[in-house]
Amino acid sequence: MLQIHCPYCQGLRSEEEFAYGGEAHIRRPADPGALTDQAWGEYLHFRKNPRGLHRELWQHAAGCRRYFNVLRDTVSYEILKVYPIGEKP
């Protein structure tokens, strides 16, 4: 089980308190109405699934309920960095 540090609550908590939100730093298209169905589908459903370092979006669901980013190694599950939304990775 992961132990995740919430950058807002400043506490180390069990993974059970958090909700995984997928890949972090996904840019929404500037004009979604101009996208083809295929391009819109790719934006909605296709994400990176790397082996190694991965930036993820998490929510402290059982705590402050705020979203934040995590840099995690998908091989070792080690969390290397936790940082608030809007902060540079």
Contact 56, 89 (CB under 8 A): no
3-state secondary structure of 72: strand
Mean pLDDT, the chain, rounded, equals: 94
pLDDT of residue 64: 97
Distance in angstroms (rounded) separating the CA atoms of residues 16 and 14: 5
What is the model's pTM? 0.86
Q: What is the largest CA-CA distance in the chain?
A: 44
SS3 label, residue 24: coil
The low-confidence residues of the chain, meaning pLDDT below 50, are none
Please give the pLDDT value at position 55: 96
Q: Which domains does the chain have, with CATH numbers?
A: 3-84 (3.30.2270.10)
